[in-house]
Structure 1
Amino acid sequence: MKTKTLELKHWILPLLLGVILLFANCEREPLVEEELNVSNTEEEDVITKEKKKYLEEKGYDLINIDIDIIDIDWCSIVPNLSGYYYANDGGHYYVRHINNKIYWFGEHPSGIWANVFTGTISGKTITGDFYDVPKGRIAGSGSLTLRVGCFGSGFTKVSGNNFGGSVWTKAILPTNLPRPRSAGFGVRNDFNDITGKWIGNDGGHYYIRQIGNRVIWFGEHSFTSGRPAWANIAWGSRFYSQLWLDWIDVPKGNTNSAGGILRGFVEEPNYISLGHNTGGFGGSKLWR
């Protein structure tokens, strides 16, 4: 009798577990569908807003016209691509598009990686280079080629084997963005290598990467309501102690400067002075 009871328990327990999992999956499926619908709705809302903005710039009277009946081949148009994008690598990307230039700062909320991209757009193709900066822990770099989606709805990666993301989707900027953190890599007390985290006399946190004579940074300052007051990238070269950089704001922050030039000097291993700045750049001293 005991043997039969034990055999019965061996059959009942797996059966009960299977029923529980079945109901759990049944409960989960609507939630997954709902999450996907929210994501799709968000994407559609962003693109609709961009279409309205484009038509207003072209002089259309949107009060009396339904954009859905306007005969336009939207997929043939590449609008200004500036804005926030999320990607299938889990990253936040803050993109700036000026003339035929594309810039971004990308970061993973966990802090595992952060990168700066500078490139050129021709038609619907973007080509350029990315450089990891020490707001993350990975120190990579390489080239990327991207294809712009229908009416700037996002990008897809055409080439770039050492870059994780492959699909970017334009979306609404989240309310809470990743805050400043300690450097994920870098050095101190090294006059010949300025890679690391620096603090400016403007209160900014600057994550600088030096590769040979190439210099790239991401800077941000003063979070309010989950977003920095300003955020910028800089890129350029180092010649001995001199820094020759260009900079531009990216839309992680609230400012929207078209940027300018920066000229600096590595005065000491952990001290940089900045001068002859244009475009409204405020900082003049950085300490590591």
Structure 2
Amino acid sequence: MPSNNPMQPSASTLTSKTATHTPLAPVFAGNDGGAYYVTEVGEKVYWFAEHPGRDYAHVFHGTREGDVINGRFYSVPKDRATTLGQVTLKVRPNGSLERVSETGGFPSKALGPVSMDAIVDKLPGRAKYAGFTGNTLADLDGVFDDDGHRCYLRQIGELVVFFAEEDFKKGERPEKAVVFVGERSGNTLKGEWIAVPKGKKTGNGTLGMSLQPNRSLVKAAGSPLGTGIFAPFLPEIAIPIATAMELANTQLNKVEIRLDGHASGDQPLKDGSYIKLGSVIKKFTMPHHDRLTYRYFINDMTSDVIHAKPIGENETRLSIVFEDKGREIKRVDRNVGDGVARDWNIENPRCDLYVKLINHETSDGRPSISYEVTNVDFLGELDAPALIESIDDWITSKVRPRIENSVMQLLNQEGFQVIVANEVQRGLDALVKAASEYSLFGYSPSALVPKHVAISGNKVVFRFI
């Protein structure tokens, strides 16, 4: 989140006449129902505030001068709110806090002291998802986990704040709950940690962490959260494989196939057959057949429509139907020439392609999904009177295998698969949104480019770390 907010709270025009004061209550309830866990360290004031029902969670740090508290608050991704700003509050004689001024949308107008026993059954546990995240090395906004703690971190320019808490059961308090206010310099984070009374432990001190290339944070010795690694956390998003198959099929439905082995007269046509998808064309040659004075060719067959039918969790049959113009088998009398012999027809010609999804990178190396053709069947019925046995054998042993093998081998080449992977990748945002729970995440799709895409059973799983 780009900003140049200073680490230290700005001064307020509202000041106190005395430096002596009664300590603040450790826990407050906002007039909006939010919970505030407050710690004073000398003149400094820190708290963590949260209210899942109103979608906010923030870290505050400021100073107290008599009955006036000035400071800044920064939303952290335990919830969706991304607000930040300044707030000034006045401490009333009864210990409550009244908001005097604010910028940025501070949520509560007044805070009243409350006992932890009164709210312990309602303490919000760990957030299931990050409320917002950058998911990049430059912007560390997001959620981090280690063995037993979850950390909700916000970076604004060089400023870094976070709230971290130990796992706990409903009706109990976490052993540890701390806020952190510090700076990032390159790959190093340094600052102050302060225990807040959502947790049982107290204390404060300094904390350093080092950022790793995989976006994890290595805690230095002396950390109140133990040594080890805070690993970035983003939930996997799984969508039905049928949704991904539909997207791939929208590209495969653009496949064109042409079968032609006749040039002119009795001359065969070299590379007259082809498969085309987008700007990529792969050619092959159809076999001809000689019998006595006749030469037989496959002639002028072009695909017309494609029908897709799911036949399994990760398999679709694409039926490529050819135009039924007749004269698909050309007969030429090599002694007399073209136009004398009668041509024959192939009734209802079609190519059935059996396709499954596979993991495949785009042309620029991003994770995506493409296809693999696992089998091809060329089907059709010969409409020829007094069919000659050798012609039937030519169709069965030469023509059909050439079509089936060429279509499968050529369609499985990298050029075609990359075209589909590129198009599927462009639709990844739509695929991710197809997950029913996506609307709960509050993520920016532009920031959440999947780093891994995996096919698992009947799901396509997107992984972001």
5 Å matches for 1:94-113? 94-110=37-53, 112-113=55-56
Q: Secondary structure at the match of 1:268?
A: coil
Of structures 1 and 2, the larger Rg is shown by: 2
User: How far apart, in 1, do the equivalents of 2:153 and 2:197 lie?
Assistant: 19
Corresponding residue of 2:345: none
User: How far apart, in 2, do the equivalents of 1:269 and 1:82 lie?
Assistant: 41
User: How far apart, in 2, do the equivalents of 1:157 and 1:127 lie?
Assistant: 10
Corresponding residue of 1:198: 144
User: How far apart, in 2, do the equivalents of 1:213 and 1:184 lie?
Assistant: 21
Matched, 1:283 2:227: yes
Taking structure 1 as reference, are residues 186 and 106 closer, same or farther at Cα in structure 2, changes over 3 Å only? Answer: same
Matched, 1:228 2:174: yes
User: How far apart, in 1, do the equivalents of 2:20 and 2:184 lie?
Assistant: 39
Corresponding residue of 1:60: none
Matched, 1:172 2:115: yes
5 Å matches for 1:46-85? 78-85=21-28
Match among 83, 102, 113 for residue 160 of structure 1: 102
Contact 2:150–2:167 at 8 Å: present in 1 too?
no
CA deviation after TM superposition for structure 1 residue 228, in Å: 1.3
CA deviation after TM superposition for structure 1 residue 164, in Å: 2.2
Contact 1:175–1:227 at 8 Å: present in 2 too?
yes
Q: Which residue type is aligned with residue 156 of structure 1?
A: E
Contact 1:197–1:206 at 8 Å: present in 2 too?
yes
User: How far apart, in 2, do the equivalents of 1:283 and 1:135 lie?
Assistant: 22
User: How far apart, in 2, do the equivalents of 1:137 and 1:102 lie?
Assistant: 24
Taking structure 1 as reference, are residues 216 and 204 closer, same or farther at Cα in structure 2, changes over 3 Å only? Answer: same
Match among 202, 209, 229 for residue 256 of structure 1: 202
Q: Secondary structure at the match of 1:168?
A: strand
The number of residue pairs the alignment matches comes to: 208
Unaligned runs of 5+ in 1: 1-75
User: How far apart, in 2, do the equivalents of 1:178 and 1:111 lie?
Assistant: 12
User: How far apart, in 2, do the equivalents of 1:283 and 1:150 lie?
Assistant: 42
CA deviation after TM superposition for structure 1 residue 106, in Å: 0.2
Corresponding residue of 2:156: 211
User: How far apart, in 2, do the equivalents of 1:212 and 1:191 lie?
Assistant: 13
Q: Which residue type is aligned with residue 102 of structure 2?
A: G
Taking structure 1 as reference, are residues 197 and 227 closer, same or farther at Cα in structure 2, changes over 3 Å only? Answer: same
Taking structure 1 as reference, are residues 236 and 77 closer, same or farther at Cα in structure 2, changes over 3 Å only? Answer: closer
User: How far apart, in 2, do the equivalents of 1:238 and 1:247 lie?
Assistant: 14
User: How far apart, in 1, do the equivalents of 2:36 and 2:166 lie?
Assistant: 17
Taking structure 1 as reference, are residues 226 and 268 closer, same or farther at Cα in structure 2, changes over 3 Å only? Answer: same
Contact 2:20–2:66 at 8 Å: present in 1 too?
no
Q: Which residue type is aligned with residue 254 of structure 1?
A: K
CA deviation after TM superposition for structure 1 residue 193, in Å: 1.2
Superposed CA deviations along residues 141-198 of structure 1, whole A, max 9, x for unmatched, are: 11111100105x210011104212110000112122000012111132x111111000
User: How far apart, in 1, do the equivalents of 2:151 and 2:54 lie?
Assistant: 15
Contact 1:146–1:159 at 8 Å: present in 2 too?
yes
Unaligned runs of 5+ in 2: 1-18, 233-465
Q: Which has the higher strand share?
A: 2
Corresponding residue of 1:126: 69
CA deviation after TM superposition for structure 1 residue 112, in Å: 0.4
Corresponding residue of 1:148: 91
Instruction: Give the % identical residues.
Output: 33
Q: Secondary structure at the match of 2:197?
A: coil
CA deviation after TM superposition for structure 1 residue 213, in Å: 1.0
Superposed CA deviations along residues 123-147 of structure 1, whole A, max 9, x for unmatched, are: 1111111000000101111111110
TM-score by length of 2: 0.43
Contact 1:77–1:150 at 8 Å: present in 2 too?
no
User: How far apart, in 2, do the equivalents of 1:170 and 1:260 lie?
Assistant: 26
Corresponding residue of 1:185: 132
